Amino acid sequence: MTLEFHRLKATQFDDVPHRYGADDCILYALGVGAGLSDDPVLGDEIQYLYEEKLRALPSMVSVIAYPGFWMRDPVHGIDWRKVVHGEQRITLLRPLATTGNVYSVSRVTRVTDKGASSGAVVVTERTIIDKATRQPIASIEQVNVCRGDGGYSAGTSAPSDPPLQPIPRPPEREPDDCLAVPTSRNQAAIYRLTGDRNPLHIDPDSARLAGLPGPILHGAALAGLVSRTLLTHPQPADAFLSRLDIRFTGVAYPGMPVAVERWFEPDHVAFRCREPDTLRELAFGRAAWQTLERKHAG
């Protein structure tokens, strides 16, 4: 079966309603590893785990009103077993509350043919909207690499959209600091309970069919791990993490620690994730903050 460009672009998503509260915030925090580290920079992270002092991790918008692994539907012509998460780009318009009654509106914005050897790239945009006010809270661009579907436009009239502007790489200089952040062996199993049930993250047989030695950690869980480190960087009291762009360049496995390198720039923080022992790169990206008075560039 061949990827269907026009069908993908015309995909109709139902609005996804979602009520969430303290338990959801705590489950998400556990799914991205909160409370595992004894590094004094991260601290005990009780603010993400205890309902009496609760704060929502901003990256939790990744799982709020999530439409599920819709690419598994054969109507799209996608080899879903070879789909990997390529990038996540999150924009928050306000701090994320610990309770909410929201819904999401999703659409496929880009389908780009990178060639038979590189796959096709499908970008889905999801906007999270407050049900009472009808005001947007956040938007998420999820970039999926369909490794088995490249070359769909070769020799045909099927079009290919231009790619997104690339996420800038970190500076060439040495990072300003590096935090070693642990993950648990069951972290992907916990994270699946937030809504992403792709079997690549739990089933050894599915992982082997995709050419992987075993189940892998969700890319979005890695983004949540990074967000925890970013929130340790001092910011003005009225600032909130408003932008988090991350590109996944390697595969992380549950139970494997992640080294998060950070570069503190005037208007953003750049970061890179590596495997501590081999220095194999796992991801890189940048984040920015916003206040009610003005928005930082980046």
Report if residue 235 sits inside a domain. yes
State the sign of the Cα–Cα–Cα–Cα dihedral 205, 24, 33, 258: positive
The pLDDT score that the predictor gives to residue 39 is 86
Residue 155: pLDDT above 80?
A: no
Task: Give the global pTM.
Answer: 0.92
Split at pLDDT 50, 70, 90, the class of 295 is very low
Q: How many CA atoms lie within 13 A of 138 on its CB side?
A: 28
CATH code, 215? 3.10.129.10
| Number of structural domains the chain divides into | 1
Average pLDDT over residues 190-217: 91
Report if residue 298 sits inside a domain. no
**CB neighbour list of residue 107: distance below 8 Å, 6 or more residues apart:** 11, 13, 124, 125
Report if residue 296 sits inside a domain. no
The pLDDT tens digits of the residues spanning 82-106 come to: 888 999 999 999 999 999 999 999 9
The pLDDT score that the predictor gives to residue 77 is 87
Split at pLDDT 50, 70, 90, the class of 297 is very low
**Do 117 and 45 touch, CB atoms closer than 8 A?**
no
The pLDDT tens digits of the residues spanning 234-258 come to: 887 889 999 999 999 999 999 999 9
Provide the residue range defining the domain that includes 89: 5-290
Report if residue 297 sits inside a domain. no
The pLDDT tens digits of the residues spanning 47-85 come to: 999 999 999 999 999 999 999 889 988 888 899 888 889
Report if residue 295 sits inside a domain. no
Report if residue 173 sits inside a domain. yes
**Do 225 and 258 touch, CB atoms closer than 8 A?**
yes
